Amino acid sequence: MEKEMLEELKLFLRVDFEDFDTEINEFQKSAEEYLTNAGVTKNYDSSLYKQAIKVLVAYWFERKFNVNIDKSSKVMSWSLEGIIAQLRGISGNI
C-alpha cells in the first residue's frame, strides 16, 4: 500500500524520479497525522481520504520553502475543510 500511494502521489505531483521519495513519504505521514488530529479516521479505501492526502502533500511539497501566507493558502484551507467535514461524516466521527 505504501509503495502504491507513493506512486499515486508522485503522479499527482508530476514527479517521475526518485529524488524526492523520502520527502514525499514524510509529507504523507504528516498529512495522515493532520487528518487524524482533525478527527478523520485513516481510510485508504476512501477516494476522498486519498484526495485529502494528495491535497495536503501537494500543498506542502509545492510550498516547502515559502513561509508567506497568501490567498492560495486560504483557498486550500477552505477546500480541505470541506473534505475533512465529509470524511468525518463518512467515518462516523462527527
> Rounded to two decimals, what is the model's pTM?
0.72
Query: How many whole angstroms from its chain centre is CA 83?
Result: 11
Task: Report pLDDT for 2.
Answer: 76
Whether 89 contacts 72, CB under 8 Å: no
Cβ within 8 Å of residue 12, ≥6 positions away = 54, 57, 58
List, for residues 1-47, the tens digit of each pLDDT value. 678 999 999 999 999 999 999 999 999 999 999 899 888 999 999 99
Say how far apart CA 7 and CA 13 lie, in whole Å: 10
Residue 75 has pLDDT above 60, yes or no: no
Q: What domain count does the chain have? A: 1
pLDDT band (50, 70, 90) for residue 93:
very low
pLDDT at residue number 70: 56
Domain, as residue range, for 42: 2-91
Q: Contact, 54 vs 7, CB < 8 A? A: no
